Amino acid sequence: MFNKKKKNQNEDMDTNVEANVNEVENPINEVSEVEELSIEEKFALEKTELNDKYLRLFAEFDNYKRRTQKERVELLQTASKDVVVSLLSVLDDFDRALKATENSTEVAPVREGVILIQTKLKSILANKGLKEMETLHTSFDADIHEAITNIPAPSEDLKGKVVDELEKGYTLNDKIIRFAKVVVGN
């Protein structure tokens, strides 16, 4: 009987040991499953955060593009404002010159007034970066000149050079905005 009790105790112990082993194994398995779920959850959370960050950056860039395009349109609309405001004084001078010519019979004072207005206009435009090209008696250059016609050169030293200028050429801040229309000597 004693053996029987001992045998039952041993079986109970074995059962307890197996239960303890199972308890020890199960928490480890549960922890690894929890870790796997938490890793998957971490990836899902990171994916959501990155997607949100991407959407915010995309929206911010889209707003930036719209804002810069709007600023560019406004700049183009108001870019000429500065030039127009500075030319208003020249327009006023022309109005005064026209009033002065109504009662004037002499040409010399009217001519002087027009020359003064032209000088004022040229100085305003020069302050804005406009420069006249010097073309007379210079070598013909297709990059800055537009040849209208060729004529026989009046002298030997004018062959291949600009003999006459029909329209002046202009540069604005060292960029050609109008080519000089010239007559070239052959």
CATH code for the domain in which residue 162 is found: 2.30.22.10
Among the ranges given (7-11, 101-105, 137-141), the one the predictor scored with the smallest mean pLDDT? 7-11
How does pLDDT run across 99-130, given as a tens digit for each residue? 888 887 888 888 888 899 999 999 999 998 89
At 124, the amino acid letter reads I
Are residues 140 and 122 located together in one domain of the fold?
Answer: no
84 vs 78: CA distance, rounded Å: 10
What pLDDT is stored for residue 7 in this prediction? 54
What pTM did the predictor assign? 0.57
Tally of domains within the chain: 3
DSSP states of 85-146 as a string? HHHHHHHHHHHHHHHHHHH---SHHHHHHHHHHHHHHHHHHHHTTEEE---TTSBP-TTTEE
Residues 74, 95, single domain; the answer is: no
136 and 109 share one domain: no
Spatial separation of the C-alpha atoms in residues 178 and 161, rounded to whole Å: 19
Does residue 86 sit in the same domain as residue 31? Answer: no
- Name 146's Cβ contacts closer than 8 Å, sequence gap at least 6: 179, 180, 181, 182
Instruction: Looking at the structure, tell me whether residues 114 and 169 fall in a common domain.
Output: no
The amino acid present at 167, given as its one-letter code, is E
Do 159 and 182 belong together in one domain?
yes
Same domain, yes or no, for 97 and 54?
A: no
pLDDT tens for residues 43-79? 999 999 999 999 999 999 999 999 999 999 888 877 7
* Same domain? 2 vs 75: yes
Query: Are residues 156 and 122 part of one domain?
Result: no
CA angle 78, 124, 136 (to 5 degrees): 120
Domain that holds residue 120: 80-128
- Together in a domain, 35 and 3: yes
Would you state the structure tokens that stand for residue 79, as one six-digit string? 């870019």
